[in-house]
């Protein structure tokens, strides 16, 4: 791993462990660079990322400070959990599970090598037996060897956690609206040209490892997206 990422990770740990507390000034760039035995430019890259992630705040001529704990919130809840919370009985129909070859834009997002294969897992998610969403996950085979041996009608999150020890930390999603084409309409038992919510993005596990890419469609009348946005402008 890149040195600056090691440094970033270490500093991040120190912040969450309370070695550097909220509002504290951390040591100067030159001091830290010497302590870690890296050049100042390298150390700065670590600090800059931590600043972008909202952990640090720099003040010219004064120093670098740990930000107060305004962290983003909102639960990363799987489809299954969301439905259960609403007392709807979730079910899943497997549409397709297969291995596919390199797909460039996905490899780019997940930062995997160009000739890694993926599992493509396409599932129809239902609530009380009514189709609600069509979820397609692309996950590198090396991350989850033999995942096709699992019962994929279960919660995907649970399989990743209990089967492989991953822990989902965050997702970066893009949300848009689209119309159902004939394929989507037929699979989801929706009217052609009805409005669908399209959610696509990458989910990350421990150490900010990009774990899988997902592209999902939901019937908007049945499944809305709730988001809490925390400020910091």
Residues at the contact surface with DNA, assessed by CB under 7 A? 2-5, 26-31, 37-42, 44-45, 58-64, 104, 107, 113-114
Rounded (10°) angle between helices 3-17 and 40-52: 50
80 binds a copy of itself (CB under 8 A): no
1 binds a copy of itself (CB under 8 A): no
Q: Are 30 and 38 in contact (CB under 8 A)?
A: no
Q: How far is the CB of 57 from a copy of itself (least distance, A)?
A: 8
Q: How far is the CB of 227 from a copy of itself (least distance, A)?
A: 5
By beta-carbon proximity to a copy of itself, the closer residue of 23 and 145 is 23
Question: CA-to-CA distance for 99 and 176, rounded, in angstroms?
Answer: 27
84 binds a copy of itself (CB under 8 A): no
Q: Are 152 and 91 in contact (CB under 8 A)?
A: no
In this chain, which of 108, 153, 181, 186 binds a copy of itself, going by CB under 8 A? 108
96 binds a copy of itself (CB under 8 A): no
Contacts of 31 (CB under 8 A, 6+ apart): none
183 binds a copy of itself (CB under 8 A): no
Q: Which does 3 bind (CB under 5 to 8 A by kind): DNA, a copy of itself, none?
A: DNA
15: helix, strand or coil: helix
β partners of residue 126: 91, 131
In the 8-state DSSP scheme, what is residue 159? I
Question: CA-to-CA distance for 218 and 83, rounded, in angstroms?
Answer: 13
CA 32 to chain CA mean position, Å:
31
CA 181 to chain CA mean position, Å:
27
Binding mask 114-153 for a copy of itself (x = CB under 8 A): ----------------------------------------
Point out which residues bind a copy of itself (CB under 8 A).
41, 52, 59, 71-78, 81, 108, 157, 167-179, 193-198, 220-221, 224-233
């Amino acid at each position: 791993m890149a040195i600056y990422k090691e440094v970033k990770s270490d500093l991040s740990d120190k912040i969450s462990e309370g070695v550097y507390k909220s509002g504290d000034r951390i040591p100067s760039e030159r001091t830290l660079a010497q302590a870690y035995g890296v050049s100042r430019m390298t150390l700065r890259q670590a600090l800059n990322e931590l600043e972008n992630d909202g952990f640090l705040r720099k003040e010219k001529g004064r120093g670098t400070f740990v930000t107060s704990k305004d962290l983003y919130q909102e639960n990363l809840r799987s489809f299954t959990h969301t439905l259960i919370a609403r007392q709807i009985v979730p079910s899943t129909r497997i549409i397709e599970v297969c291995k596919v070859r390199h797909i460039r834009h996905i490899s780019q997002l997940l930062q995997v090598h160009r000739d890694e294969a993926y599992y493509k897992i396409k599932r129809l998610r239902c609530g009380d037996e009514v189709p609600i969403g069509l979820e397609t996950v692309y996950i590198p085979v090396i991350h989850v060897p033999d995942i096709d041996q699992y019962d994929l009608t279960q919660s995907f999150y649970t399989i990743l956690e209990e089967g492989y020890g991953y822990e989902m930390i965050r997702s970066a999603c893009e949300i848009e609206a689209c119309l159902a084409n004939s394929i989507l309409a037929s699979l989801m038992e929706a009217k052609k040209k009805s409005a669908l919510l399209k959610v696509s993005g990458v989910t990350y596990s421990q150490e900010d490892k990009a774990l899988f890419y997902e592209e999902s469609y939901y019937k908007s009348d049945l499944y809305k997206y709730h988001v809490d946005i925390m400020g910091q402008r």
